[in-house]
Amino acid sequence: MKVMALGPHPDDVEFLCAGTLAKYKARGHDIAITVMTRGDVGSPTLTRDQIAAVREKEARASAAILGAEFFWLGCDDEFLYDTPDLRRQVIDVLRQFAPDIVLCPDKDKDYHPDHCRTGQIVWDTHVMPPVRLILTASPACERIHDIWYYDTLAAIGFEPEIYVDITDTWETKVRMLNCHESQNTWMKHIYGVTLADNSEAQSRLRGLQAGCRYAECFRRAHEFPQRVARDGLLPWAPQR
């Protein structure tokens, strides 16, 4: 199976679904990470181009931990818009990787504008990758992927439908978060905490909700037609 996560900024995938990606990886599936914007307002000292270059390098290092394919769309941070060009870029990335599962921000529940637009674009282009009359650099693919929305930053306003226990991939998630040194330095300076500190607070709460130590959580995008579960039954878990 192939799983792609799309992040609005260079560290969102790490913060919100890296534990789940690592779990898929550990079971032998292929992973890709797509970053929409170049994170180019995230520095107190550098220029936009300088910080963008730093953040791309950090994000590539993080993706390398999972052996993930990496796509960098390079949009302007905080100014992501749904345009025909960007839709075609997203369709093209989906055609190149041909994922079975796509993880992205929730178009309806997320509150950050770049997150909302990312989720909206993924949703709006959902059925387009196999449509041959929509032209992009890559040829149409066969597959239509399943979309799952990941949690919001600080869990604000999100209502989880499905939890993934990431206790056994928690260390990998932390290593990926720690690749983002430029952000850690800044946050440490202003707030006295790192990305991993905040991520731990959120993953612990999600774990408390799911009866495990660390968890990530997701909502199903209600596509048409709607998928049935893998084995055709209800996705039940044996009692803990």
Which 10-29 positions form the footprint of a copy of itself (CB under 8 A)? 20, 23-24, 27
- Binding part of the chain for a copy of itself, among 4-12, 55-63, 81-89, 170-178 by CB under 8 A, reads 81-89
CB 156 within 8 A of CB 112: no
- Chain centroid offset of residue 84 CA: 22
Q: Which residue type occupies 152?
A: T
Q: What is the largest CA-CA distance in the chain?
A: 54
**CA 84 to CA 79: how far, in whole Å?**
15
- Binding part of the chain for a copy of itself, among 55-63, 67-75, 77-85, 174-182 by CB under 8 A, reads 77-85
Quickly count: other Cβ atoms within 10 Å of residue 97's Cβ. 22
Burial (0-12, 13-18, 19+ Cβ within 10 Å), 223 = middle
Q: How far is the CB of 207 from a copy of itself (least distance, A)?
A: 7
Residues numbered 166 to 195 that lie near a copy of itself (CB under 8 A) are: none
Q: Total number of residues binding a copy of itself (CB under 8 A)?
A: 81
Residues numbered 130 to 159 that lie near a copy of itself (CB under 8 A) are: 131-134, 143-144, 146, 148, 153-157, 159
Q: Which of 28, 67, 189, 235 binds a copy of itself (CB under 8 A)?
A: 235
